[in-house]
Amino acid sequence: MKKLVKSRKVEKPKKSSKETKSKQEYFPGDKVKIIADKEYSGIFFESYDPKIILLKLESGYNIGIEKSKIKSIKILEKAKQKPEINKKKTKENPNLKKIIILHTGGTIASKVDYQSGGVVAKFSAEDLIGMIPEIADIANIETELIANMMSEDMMFSDYQKIINSIKKHEHKCDGIIIGHGTDTLAYTAAALSFALEGINIPIILVGSQRSSDRGSTDANFNLISAAKFIAKSDFIGVGICMHNSSNDNICAILPATKTRKMHTSRRDAFKAINDSPIALVNPQNSEITFMKKYEHKQGHGNARFKDKFNEEVGILKTHPNMKNSLFEFYSKNYKAIIIETTGLGHMPTNLGKNLKNYEIIKKFIKNGGIVAITSQCIYGRVNSNVYTNLRRLSEIGCIFCGDMLSETAFIKLSWLLGNYKKEEVKVLLTKNLRGELNERTLFSEDFVE
């Protein structure tokens, strides 16, 4: 008979205090030295990516270091704890207009405190006024946090969140400012312009090209300019407020469907394409100069929210030596395609292997697909009547989109498919609904009064 042996619980060896401490030895605000591919010294602060450590270098620039490549970390100086500052609740001034500021992310209303490693702005009105005291003299401010994301991660579902917030606030305020990351700010502006039909308050999107911890930041200037524009004008509709030049003197209010980010880092990166700014704002003296006709506010109307976006629209950029498989992929995976062509609307569909691309597009349209033509050129318009090869594309049903920006055409087509029947979509795509299309080509001299 086998002898029963009582099993004994095997305890895992405890980690030494040294090992435990090594995982927690540095905190936001600590000055550290990191040995990786080379040596780095700076202030550690929180990263949005758990695989990355962020340092504020002595030069003032930030650097991200992959944790997997770090050999050692040494604390040079512990962070000093700052006393909590009591923030006073702001009181409304009955003589001022009310502005709602919606936050979606970006750097427009946040500031990293490298002493504590955290973000100073908690997105409340009190925090914002603490950072920009002048704004309390411009309007009564109320804020709401919608998201805290990099704008390249924006989805159509995020547009819905912004629109739902606008629905909630439009009747109880004089205007709305939306803080947004700059990379896809123009896409969101176009989306709101189409979705907010008949909106009777100003909706101004504001971004910042330079982070607010830098001396050259444009965050405060842009935000103050947007607030003054709402407070001092009777403009209604959607616009964009960004620097008009690299100097801190004037901001431009730009048209939502005709604006493009034209530079990666300049403060005046946003420009109206084939169009002019709506207005120029001088925040120092509150002077507003309108550059074109605009819709005026007349009481508090009821906006019509057509806010659905179809996700089965893609953008295909043409280039030399394109494979037929690219056209096949888009035709199989999307219901509608924006083809960003060269020049007046040219794409590789004329000779040799490229003839197959023509047949793919023809079949796609015959089976119910929609193909819209825009140009890679920044200025000018596409035209189906100049060359024989363009007339061939028009004859099989390709829709030429005039001087509409590719980004705007993408948003417009997604919006149309989400809210209208397909036959209506084909007609409305070529109609000017929100200032996205000009009847004639404009040149720079047309923008000067």
> pLDDT at position 84, please?
46
In this structure, are residues 262 and 271 in contact, taking their beta carbons and an 8 Å threshold?
Answer: yes
Higher-pLDDT residue of 333 and 3 is: 333
pTM (predicted TM-score): 0.81
Q: How far apart are CA 316 and CA 307, in angstroms?
A: 25
Segment 176-225, tens digit of pLDDT = 999 999 999 999 999 999 999 989 999 999 998 876 656 677 888 999 99
> pLDDT at position 133, please?
87
pLDDT band at residue 60, thresholds of 50, 70 and 90? Answer: low
Task: Single out the residue of 388, 317, 384, 386 nearest to residue 350, CA to CA.
Answer: 388
Tokens 């944790």 sit on residue? 67
Task: Single out the residue of 157, 422, 197, 160 nearest to residue 311, CA to CA.
Answer: 157
Q: At 51, which amino acid appears?
A: K
**Rounded (5°) CA angle 85-149-55:** 65
Tallying the residues shown for the chain, one arrives at 449
Segment 100-120, tens digit of pLDDT = 999 997 666 555 555 544 444
- 10 Å Cβ neighbour count for 80? 8
pLDDT-above-90 percentage for the chain: 63
User: In this structure, what token pair is assigned to residue 314?
Assistant: 């893609």
**Is the pLDDT at 80 greater than 50, yes or no?**
yes
In this structure, are residues 43 and 31 in contact, taking their beta carbons and an 8 Å threshold?
Answer: yes
**Is the pLDDT at 247 greater than 70, yes or no?**
yes
Tell me which CATH code domain 27-77 carries.
Answer: 2.30.30.520
pLDDT band at residue 423, thresholds of 50, 70 and 90? Answer: very high
CATH class held by domain 98-305: alpha beta
pLDDT band at residue 128, thresholds of 50, 70 and 90? Answer: confident
Tell me which of 146-160, 182-196, 255-269 is least confident: 146-160
Would you kindly state where each structural domain of the chain is located, as residue ranges? 27-77, 98-305, 313-428
Contacts of 81 (CB under 8 A, 6+ apart): 116
Segment 356-404, tens digit of pLDDT = 999 999 999 999 999 999 999 999 999 999 999 999 999 999 999 999 9
CATH: 3.40.50.40, 3.30.70.2740, 3.40.50.1000, 3.50.50.60. Which one for 313-428?
Answer: 3.40.50.40
**Is the pLDDT at 281 greater than 70, yes or no?**
yes
pLDDT band at residue 130, thresholds of 50, 70 and 90? Answer: confident
Q: How far apart are CA 188 and CA 409, in angstroms?
A: 13
Taking residues 33-60, report their average pLDDT: 79
> pLDDT at position 86, please?
46
Residue 396 C-beta-side C-alpha neighbours within 13 Å? 22
In this structure, are residues 207 and 222 in contact, taking their beta carbons and an 8 Å threshold?
Answer: yes
> pLDDT at position 45, please?
72
pLDDT-above-70 percentage for the chain: 82
Q: How far apart are CA 223 and CA 101, in angstroms?
A: 10
Tokens 């994301």 sit on residue? 149
Taking residues 146-156, report their average pLDDT: 88
Tell me which of 9-18, 192-201, 231-240 is least confident: 9-18
Task: Single out the residue of 288, 282, 276, 275 nearest to residue 248, CA to CA.
Answer: 282
Give me the active site residues, please.
107, 182-183, 261
Domains 27-77 and 313-428 share a fold: no
Instruction: Return the exposure string of 116-128: e unless at least 16 CB atoms fall within 10 Å of the residue's CB, then b.
Output: bbebebebbbbbb
**Is the pLDDT at 21 greater than 50, yes or no?**
no
| Coil, strand or helix at 152 | helix
371 bridge partner residues: 337
Contacts of 258 (CB under 8 A, 6+ apart): 272, 273, 274, 275, 405, 408, 435, 436
> pLDDT at position 120, please?
44
Instruction: Return the exposure string of 15-51: e unless at least 16 CB atoms fall within 10 Å of the residue's CB, then b.
Output: eeeeeeeeeeebebbbbbebebeeebebbbbeeeeee
Tell me which of 112-126, 254-268, 332-346, 368-382 is least confident: 112-126
Task: Single out the residue of 152, 161, 101, 147 nearest to residue 309, CA to CA.
Answer: 161
Q: How far apart are CA 106 and CA 126, in angstroms?
A: 19
Phi, psi of 186 (to 5 degrees): -65, -35
